[in-house]
Amino acid sequence: MNTNVETSTELYTYSSEISSNLNGIPQGTVLTNDAGNGCCVCFMGIIVVFWIIIIVLRKHKREIKDIDESKNNKQNNSITTQLNKNYMLSSNRNVTTKTTNYNESVYYTETHISYDEMMSDKGKSGEYNISRELEKINSFKKIMFNTYLPTENDRTTEIDIIMLHSTGVYIIESKNYKGWIIGDEAHENWQQTIWKGKTQGKYFFYNPIKQNSKHILSLEKVIGKIQTISLVVFGDEATIKKAEHTNPNLYVINKKDMLKTIEKRIYESQQVYAESELEEMYQKLRPYSGYCVPEEIKEKHITNMKTNN
């Protein structure tokens, strides 16, 4: 800006000198060619000065605009930074709330699986989502997860979820799958079809009805003959196209239908177990369930499952 002031001052001085020289010419004096040339030079000088002033003013205007834009950018950046901080604080509060709710859940109490581990494991997150629905049942119940029961040949079978209730023992096999599900009571394997655009991928998995039947047999070896209700629960991203069976104590459903299915079953059933009997079953099964099971048993179970596959 100092340069602009100096330039303007010099132009003003130069213009004043030209005016003084013109005023000093007596009236009636005929200008010679040199005088005429001088006037032309003077006129051109005034034009040059005029354009220089315009250029200087435009430059000054741009500088003011740049300063205003810089201020606006700083204000916008400040607002954006504050919004990001508010978003992060809100996100952290949401995560904290979810973590707190999770740590107070039956699933965490029984398994001691951390929130991060549960969220990163598709199977565990499916079990947790089912457990949240089961907790909504208002009558007395005991819920257990990941129960490792002994079978033949020094092996184990794992029951995802057991709910001990006065109307019976609910054995839940959680399948957090998506795509089309096709199967029936008799076939050894079921089919999962996943569509990607116009391409479909077909995968096969062991019949979950048979799987839960084996779970019940192993369970009865530990706590004796019981009234059981078998549920195979698929995630809501799955479409159960076919799951034929004839067992009235068996349900193959999506998670969104599980709560109303169980509540309807409870409403239509008679009480067969007292709370003391349910507590006794729970204590018998407790050593086989959740975090009570030694890690070596879990690892051996996983190894045997991989060997079978």
Q: Tens of pLDDT along 290-305?
A: 889 999 998 999 888 8
The residue type at 222: V
Q: Tens of pLDDT along 163-195?
A: 999 999 999 999 999 999 999 999 999 999 998
In order, the DSSP letters of 218-268 are HHHHHH-S--EEEEEEE-TTEEEEEEE---TTEEEEEHHHHHHHHHHHHHH
d(CA 100, CA 102): 5
- Please tell me the least confidently modeled range out of 214-218, 222-226, 291-295: 291-295
Residue 204: pLDDT over 70: yes
Two structure tokens written together for 62: 């741009």
d(CA 158, CA 18): 106
What proportion of the chain, given as a percentage, has pLDDT over 70? Answer: 79
pLDDT at 31: 46
Residue 7: pLDDT over 50: no
Choose among 244, 239, 126: nearest CA to 180.
Answer: 239
d(CA 211, CA 218): 11
For residue 30, what pLDDT band results from cuts at 50, 70 and 90?
very low
pLDDT at 100: 86
Average pLDDT over residues 41-61: 78
Q: Tens of pLDDT along 68-90?
A: 677 677 676 767 677 666 666 55
For residue 56, what pLDDT band results from cuts at 50, 70 and 90?
confident
Q: Tens of pLDDT along 143-157?
A: 999 999 999 888 999
